[in-house]
Structure 1
Amino acid sequence: MVWGVAEALGAAVGAGVALVAAPAVVAGLGFTAGGIAAGSIAAKMMSAAAIANGGGVAAGSTVAVLQSIGAAGFSLGAEVGLGSLGAAAGALVEKIAG
C-alpha cells in the first residue's frame, strides 16, 4: 500500500493524540505523580483491588500499572507501541474520511 500525504498526516496526528491523550486520561482518573488522588476513580479502583486482595494491591495489577504510568509516564517501549497504535488509528480515520 502506498501512502499519500493525507494518510501520512493522519497517521502523525493519530500518533500525537495517542501519546498526549493517554497520560492525560490516566491522570484524569486520579493516578498522579503524587499518588492516587483522594475521592477519585483511581481511589475507588485501589480500594476494590485491596479488598479483593486481602488488603494490598498486587504488583502488575491494573491499578499498579496505571499508578506507575501516572507517577512516571510511559516507558519508551509503551510510547512506541502507543505511537504505532495512534498512527494506525489516524490513518484509518483519514482513509474513512478521505
Structure 2
Amino acid sequence: MIKKVAAAAVGGAVAVGAVPLVLGAVGFTSAGIAASSLAAKMMSAAAIANGGGVPAGGLVAVLQSAGAAGLSTSANVLLASAGSVLGALLGGSKKAPPSSPPLGPGAEGDQPGKNASQVNPPKPPLSSEKPQK
C-alpha cells in the first residue's frame, strides 16, 4: 500500500514538472514558437487548414499559451491527479511471483509419473550409418 501511495505522489510530481519541459522541448517557449520546431510545423499545418490563421482555442493556441505563461492552478491540479492515478497504476502493477511449496522428505517418487525422467533414450543409428566399434 505504501508503495502505491509513493508511486502516486511521484507520478503527480513528474506530471506537473514534465509538462513545461516537454512544451519547451517541442518549441512552445515563453518567447513564442521556436523556428524549425515541431511547434512551428503544427502552427503551419493549423494555419493552412484554417485558411491562413491559427484558430483561437485550438490545440496550437492552447499549447502556446501554456508554454508562454505556464499552466493555471486548475490545470496543474488536473495534471497532478492524472499523474497520480497513472503512477499508482504503474507502481502497483508488479507483483512477486508465487513461491513454490518446499519439497518435503520423500516427496520425490511418491507419485508415479509426476517426477518421471524427461530424458529421452538415445536413438538407434540410421541404416546407412555403420555402427562404431
After TM superposition, list the pairs within 5 Å mapping 1:3-82 onto structure 2.
Answer: 4-82=1-79
- Once the two structures are TM-superposed, the CA of residue 79 in structure 1 deviates from its matched residue by 0.4
- Once the two structures are TM-superposed, the CA of residue 66 in structure 1 deviates from its matched residue by 0.5
Letter in 2 for 1:42: A
Pairwise CA RMSD of aligned residues?
0.9
Percent identity between the aligned chains?
Answer: 57
Letter in 2 for 1:70: G
CA–CA distance in 1 between the matches of 2:66 and 2:31?
A: 12
- Once the two structures are TM-superposed, the CA of residue 97 in structure 1 deviates from its matched residue by 2.4
- Once the two structures are TM-superposed, the CA of residue 53 in structure 1 deviates from its matched residue by 1.1
CA–CA distance in 1 between the matches of 2:2 and 2:56?
A: 44
Letter in 1 for 2:88: A
CA–CA distance in 2 between the matches of 1:11 and 1:82?
A: 12
- Once the two structures are TM-superposed, the CA of residue 88 in structure 1 deviates from its matched residue by 0.5
For the residue of structure 2 that corresponds to 1:55, the secondary structure is: coil
Per-residue CA distance 1:43-83 (angstroms, 9 max, x = gap): 01101111111111000100000000100111111100000
Higher relative contact order, chain-length normalized (CA < 8 Å, sep 6+): 1
TM-score calculated relative to the size of structure 1: 0.92
For the residue of structure 1 that corresponds to 2:78, the secondary structure is: helix
Runs (4+) off by over 2 Å: none
- Once the two structures are TM-superposed, the CA of residue 95 in structure 1 deviates from its matched residue by 1.0
For the residue of structure 2 that corresponds to 1:96, the secondary structure is: coil
Q: Which has the larger radius of gyration?
A: 2
CA–CA distance in 2 between the matches of 1:10 and 1:87?
A: 7
- Once the two structures are TM-superposed, the CA of residue 26 in structure 1 deviates from its matched residue by 1.1
Structure with greater helix share of residues: 1
